[in-house]
Structure 1
Amino acid sequence: MKLNKSILSMSVALLSSVGVMAQTGAASGTPFGSGADSVRCLQNISIFSSYAKAQNFDDAFEPWQLAYKECPGSSKNIYIHGANILKHKISKETNPAKRAALINDLLALYDNRIKFFGEDAKKGKDAITLDKVNDYLALTGDKADYGKVYDWTKHIVEEYKENSPANLLYWFLSSSREVARKDASKKEAYLNDYLAASDYLDTQLNALTDSTARANLEINIAQLDESFARSGLASCDLLKKIYTMDKIEERKTDKNFLASTIKIFQNSVDRDDEGNPVGECDSPVPDKAAEYLFRLEPSANAAKSLAGKYVREKNYNEAIKYIEEAIKLSSNNNDKVKAYELLWGIAGKTGNGALASRAQNAILAINPNNGRILIQQAVRIGNSANSIFPGDPVKARCVFFLVIQRLQAAAAKDPSVAAQANRLIGQYRARLPKAADIFMHPELGSGKA
């Protein structure tokens, strides 16, 4: 009897010790847990990883779910493969409520990856958040809540600043714009976000040495500037309320403030009551800011702003002087193109053909697919048809074949100008010589130059 009691006591103690030893990672606060639970964690990770690598996400789900629940801090594979497993389930789900719940599970998965592996050297919380945003927008489409996107990205941008991923900065600014469109009280916040993101992107651009990477980032920056200008949120009235002459005087030695003031006015337009653009915001503020900034530290933006001031005053010689300075000081192609466009504008106002050609050729050297310039060059050829063949109207009209060819090339290279190019093509086709006219000129004919 005593022996039986001893055996029973030993059995209870042994079972108790196994219970203490077997503990999940989630319960113990350790990566794998302990005892049998740690073994099960490793087994589940191995099983779902094998299935996921073979794209067998259905069979991967159950062991993945167990590992995610019991030992969430054990392996990055729980999150790398887990995102694909959940996206597979989302793609198959037809019930709207269940699909929404799965999307929330996916977002929570990214949050937990940040919790356990957010400081990972290869992929930290900045890159993880970008994946979260990309998946959320892809899965929700036009039902996306940009307020959520703004909250997710804002925390990262505030922490990482100029080291934030460029694409994350893009979504940060895009979501800020969408929030401001729905809530007028957020307009000033959007202006500040735009200035911060632009500054960070400019810093990244100046640090890049790879020409392809620079070109791609310049495109992103140009798109954000264009979106800002077209948003209707940076209204002239709002800018005048925020940026006053008194504020410029108070901060006339603050280079960053002066530079941001110039940039925000340069990328804003004045609009009529229906929201249509009617020209640049007419304010002395950016001119004064540019004047102070150029004294402190000559820069491309300050020079362009001063050039704009002299253009408005019709002092074109002085304007050209500052544009030349802007070209010299420009550190990237976007800034150079904007400076050459100012030069091109002055050439048009003054009828200086040589200056226009120089500006156009410089822009095309940077971007051979600039449709606006290609169209202008084609039109210029058309306008000079009579001087090319003086006294021969038929041959002069043959020049329009070349003009049409140039316009077709412009439309093909730059889809943004296709509509304008096609309208002009229609106009020039109507002016082409008739077959009977060409018949009277034996030197002309199909295939002849």
Structure 2
Amino acid sequence: MKFKIAFTLLGLVFAFNAASAQDCRVTLSLFNESAKVENFSDAYPKYKELLENCSDYNILIYQRGEKMLEEMIEVAETEERKQELIQEYIDNQTMRLEKFPGETKAGDVFADIAMIKYKYEVGTLEERLEAFEKIVEVDKENFSSPVAIYAYFRIANDLNDAGERDIQFLFDKYDQVIALIETQENDKALEAKPLIEKQEAQEELTSRESRILKNSEIYLRNYTKIKESVNSLLGSKADCDNLIPLYKKNFDENKDNVQWLKNANERLSAKDCTQDPLFFKVSEALHQKEPSASSAYSLGQLAEAEGDRAKALEYYNEAAELETSEIRKARIYYRIANNYKDRGSYSQARNYYRKALQSKPSMGVAYLKIADMYAKSANDCGNTVFEKRAVYWLAADYAARAGRVDPSISSNANETAESYRARAPQKSDIFQEEAAGKKISFSNCWIRESVVVPNI
């Protein structure tokens, strides 16, 4: 008897749950259809019903709710109603993360919340800043929206303009924001690199690969624009005329403060404020207190300025070994590479340009430098006139790749690539040599790479 009662109760529970799931499915379907056609007067009540009775049923509730609330905020008739909808939007995003954490990136959610506060000026500047700082704190790796990254720095700049935060705060935020941008640039450049190389080898991309490459290049262009905007905002606040008096005034009281010395050293070095005696005082004090990548790099700059290339390279290599940041390490390798290039040591220079690219795949200028060295070596490579001129195809590939991973130099890179192609064998030369599609190897010179002759 007890077994029959328990079985009956279990059946009733199952039937109730099945009916509830059916109700949720029907309500969600009706809500989705109304929201898609922007019939919000019908969609909104169903959305509220779903939140109350079916909040963990399907992520679509929150995905469609996000879009609906964005539109409703835009057309809200009163400021009071707009503020209510903004809070509902924030609640929608928060609940999505809570109910569907496996299908939701925390960084995206907190970026959405920060951006809605930024767009509609919700709260004080400090409160808006905190909303963006939460993204960095919780999920920095997924803080990828170019517009949100710019908004973050814009708020920091506004706080500085209002006199609520000092210039050092702004410098710190600038460094943080540039690091965020360059991290994302590297990710996208790394994603694009094998696909660009596949195209250069005249292999056809799959439709999926084409989409990935197109998306990566769009993001790279957007990050370039945002970086330019951030630098424009900082403007003259970070030039040597402002930095040197700032750090000179505070040097004596901070000459034993390692963190202060690091900050001053990095800022002066980044802006090439290396001519003033203050730079040497800061660098030397830092290297004595705590030898680091920054202090070694700065001493390398000073040695280079004095014409002691050997000493400069010694310091730069020390800096590269000590450096833990891949982006800063790339800059050091790039500087070493330039030193070797200027001395005509092309093979050594290329090694360091490649090291720079390993640390920072979006450093397009390194590809451009390799292209230049290849072009200058054309007469030294290949066994025939045709093969010597074929070096320019290889140089053109590197130049074109520079613009694709770093859109900020795309105009110069593309012009350079075209000039190299103009010096390479033309269609008539390829036809006469019957060389279309053949691989030419440059194993008799330092280049030691190959290129595929274009099909005509």
Q: Check whether TM > 0.5.
A: yes
Distance 1:429 1:290, change over 3 A: same
Select 1:343's aligned residue among 333, 336, 339: 336
Deviations 1:3-55 (A, max 9, x none): xxxxxxxxxxxxxxxxxxxxxxxxxxxxxxxxxxxxxxxxxxx9889735763
Equivalent positions of 1:31-42 (< 5 A) are none
Q: Is the 8 A contact 2:113 2:131 kept in 1?
A: no
Aligned amino acid, residue 86 of structure 2: L
Instruction: Say which of 289, 294, 301 aligns to 1:308.
Output: 301
Match of 2:88 in 1: 109
Amino acid at match of 2:305: R
Aligned to 1:13: none
1:195 Cα offset (Å): 1.3
Q: Does 1:131 align with 2:108?
A: no
Q: Quick one: which amino acid aligns to residue 340 of structure 2?
A: A
Q: Are the structure 2 counterparts of residues 309 and 76 from structure 1 closer, same or farther at C-alpha, using a change threshold of 3 Å? A: farther
Separation in 1, partners of 2:261, 2:227 = 18
Structure 1 residues 266 and 347, CA gap change in structure 2 (3 angstroms):
same
The 1-side partners of 2:50 and 2:422 are apart by 72
Other-structure match for 1:7: none
SS at match of 2:77: helix
Q: Which residue of 1 aligns with 2:211?
A: none
Does the CA-based 8 Å contact 1:180-1:190 persist in structure 2? no
Using the alignment, how far apart are the partners of 1:294 and 1:168 within structure 2? Answer: 34
Asked whether the 8 Å contact 2:368–2:402 carries over to 1, the reply is yes
Cα deviation for residue 198 of structure 1 reads 4.7
Q: Which has the higher contact order (CA 8 A, sep 6+)?
A: 2
Residue 446 in structure 1 maps to residue 435 in structure 2: yes
**Partners of 2:274 and 2:302 within 8 A in 1:** no
Note if 1:236 corresponds to 2:229: no
Equivalent residue runs for 1:406-425 within 5 Å: 406-425=398-417
The Cα of 1:158 is off from its aligned counterpart by 7.4
CA drift of 1:326 comes to 1.5
- Other-structure match for 1:185: 161
Query: Helix, strand or coil: the match of 2:423?
Result: coil
Q: Mark the CA change 1:161 to 1:431 in structure 2 (over 3 Å): closer, same or farther.
A: closer
Give unpaired runs (5+ residues) of structure 1.
1-45, 138-143, 206-210, 270-278
Assess, with a 3 A threshold, how the Cα gap between structure 1 residues 230 and 83 changes in structure 2: closer, same or farther.
Answer: same
**Structure 1 Cα separation of the partners of residues 172 and 143 of structure 2:** 15
Q: TM-score, normalised by structure 1?
A: 0.61
Aligned partner (choices 378, 386, 392) of residue 379 of structure 2: 386
Deviations 1:56-89 (A, max 9, x none): 6555633766999xx9xxx899x99578546415
How many residues end up aligned between the 2 structures? 373
Q: Secondary structure at the match of 2:238?
A: coil
> Which residue of structure 1 aligns with residue 44 of structure 2?
61
Corresponding residue for residue 195 of structure 1:
172
CA–CA separation in structure 1 for the residues paired with 2:389 and 2:162: 56
1:427 to 419, 442, 451: 419
- AA of the residue aligned to 2:329: K
Mark the CA change 1:116 to 1:379 in structure 2 (over 3 Å): closer, same or farther. closer
Tell me which residue corresponds to 1:39. none
Alignment deviations for residues 371-428 of structure 1 (CA, whole Å, 9 cap, x no partner): 32222222212211222258x7565434323333443444445544432222123323
Letter in 1 for 2:129: K
Q: In the aligned structure 2, how far is the partner of 1:395 from the partner of 1:169?
A: 44
- 1:98 matches 2:77: yes
CA change 1:111–1:400 in 2 (3 A) is closer
8 Å Cα contact 2:296-2:319 kept in structure 1 = yes
Deviation at 1:305, TM superposition (A): 2.2
* Cα gap change, 1:412 to 1:66, in 2 (>3 Å): closer
- The 1:393/1:288 distance shift into structure 2, 3 A limit, reads same
Counterpart in 2 of 1:14?
Answer: none
Contact 2:316/2:336, CA 8 A, preserved across alignment: yes
Correspondence for 1:4:
none
Work out whether residues 62 and 96 of structure 2, in 8 Å CA contact, stay in contact via their aligned partners in 1. Answer: no
Inter-partner Cα distance in structure 1 for 2:94 and 2:413: 54
1:98 is paired with a residue whose SS is coil
Q: Secondary structure at the match of 1:107?
A: helix
User: CA 1:370–1:99 in structure 2 vs 1: closer, same or farther (change >3 Å)?
Assistant: farther
CA distance in 1, matches of 2:120, 2:333: 40
Distance 1:100 1:344, change over 3 A: farther
1:88 aligns with 2:62: no
1:151 corresponds, among 114, 126, 133, to 126
Q: Do 1:371 and 1:413's aligned partners in 2 also have CA atoms closer than 8 Å?
A: yes
Cα deviations by residue, 1:220-259 (Å, 9 ceiling, x for unpaired): 9x989876555414233222342x3241221122222222
Tell me, yes or no, if the aligned pair for 2:353 and 2:366 is still in contact at 8 Å: yes
Q: Distance in 2 between matches of 1:153 and 1:161?
A: 13
Tell me if the contact between 1:173 and 1:197 (Cα under 8 Å) persists in the aligned partners.
no
Question: 8 Å contact 2:111–2:132 — kept in the other structure?
Answer: no
Of 357, 366, 378 in structure 2, the residue corresponding to residue 364 of structure 1 is 357
Unaligned segments of structure 2, at least 5 residues: 1-21, 192-218, 441-456
Q: Aligned match of 1:249 in 223, 248, 252?
A: 252
Measured after TM superposition, the shift of residue 328 of structure 1 is: 1.1
- Is 1:400 matched up with 2:380? no
Distance between the aligned counterparts of 1:396 and 1:292, measured in 2?
Answer: 52
Residues 194 and 164 of structure 1: CA distance in aligned 2, closer, same or farther (over 3 Å): farther
Q: Provide the rounded CA distance (Å) in 2 between the counterparts of 1:256 and 1:402.
A: 46
Aligned-pair CA distance for 1:307: 1.8
Does residue 262 (structure 1) correspond to residue 273 (structure 2)? The answer is: no
- Percent identity of equivalent pairs: 18
CA distance in 2, matches of 1:292, 1:80: 58
Counterpart CA distance in 1 for 2:132 and 2:426 is: 63
1:235 corresponds to which letter in structure 2?
Answer: D
Q: Is the Cα contact below 8 Å between 1:129 and 1:153 reproduced in 2?
A: no
- CA 1:110/1:434 → structure 2, altered by over 3 Å: closer, same or farther? closer
Q: In the TM superposition, what whole-angstrom CA distance separates every residue of 1:113-147 from its partner, at most 9, and x where no partner exists?
A: 89999999x79x9986533124466xxxxxx3679
Displacement after TM superposition at 1:108 (Å): 2.5
Give the TM-score normalised by structure 2: 0.60
